Amino acid sequence: AQSVTQPDIHITVSEGASLELRCNYSYGATPYLFWYVQSPGQGLQLLLKYFSGDTLVQGIKGFEAEFKRSQSSFNLRKPSVHWSDAAEYFCAVGSGGYNKLIFGAGTRLAVHP
Amino acid sequence: NAGVTQTPKFQVLKTGQSMTLQCAQDMNHEYMSWYRQDPGMGLRLIHYSVGAGITDQGEVPNGYNVSRSTTEDFPLRLLSAAPSQTSVYFCASSPGQTYNEQFFGPGTRLTVL
């Protein structure tokens, strides 16, 4: 069965530091992979997605993610974190067509000034 | 263009009561879905619809009913609320049947006593 694992429940970084959020997936075929961000009290917003092609994908707000098939990973990165990046981040994999998504449990990011 | 709207924002029910969570989108999207978000579990798909008159079950459909009489609206019904249905509910919509971006509503926080 398809699944998504985000190993880190909480991460705290200092403003200006680099960030990497981990995501591992289990999926038999070529995966469709997504990162969403949820600010407090808000719905989810798409940061970036990977369907095929270049394994390094660029997203909004300065985020990027790299698809590594050999490691079944799709880690999210940002070179310099801003205080406004404090939020919860969800990795998801497309499952079974029709835009059905399986989400990871999420990683909550705190940013220290 | 309001995007995806959900009402109410907050709701408290007693066990056994029924209610309908409303979801509407004004983007003419074919695909709509309902998710529930619980701490440590990410988002889980309840029901989805690929067009007016067509609905199907997701990962956690028990206790919930849906219908899709128009493209714009996709209400979620709880026939007999249970404490296990305490959660935050998100509606999402997406154009087409491929893995396009899903646009999420702001959510409904439901508490069942």
pLDDT tens track for B80-110:
999 999 999 999 999 876 666 789 999 999 9
Q: In Å, what is the CA distance from A24 to each residue of A8, A37, B96?
A: 11, 17, 27
Q: For residue range B37-67, list pLDDT tens digits in order.
A: 998 888 999 999 999 999 999 989 999 999 9
Please identify every stretch of chain A with a pLDDT value under 50, giving residue numbers as ranges: none
Say which residues have a Cβ less than 8 Å from residue B93's Cβ, sequence separation at least 6: B4, B25, B27, B29, B31, B32, B33, B74, B102, B103
Residue-level pLDDT at B97: 63
A21 touching chain B per CB within 8 A = no
Nearest residue of B to residue A7, measured between CA atoms: B40
Residue contact B107–A98, C-beta within 8 A: no
Q: To which residue do tokens 């969403």 refer? A: A36
Token pair, residue A3, equals 């699944």
Least Cα separation, residue A79 to chain B (angstroms): 25
Residue contact A46–B31, C-beta within 8 A: no
Residue-level pLDDT at B46: 96
- pLDDT(B29) > 90: yes
Say which residues have a Cβ less than 8 Å from residue A54's Cβ, sequence separation at least 6: none
A56 touching chain B per CB within 8 A = no
At A64 the three-state DSSP class reads: strand
Residue-level pLDDT at A98: 57
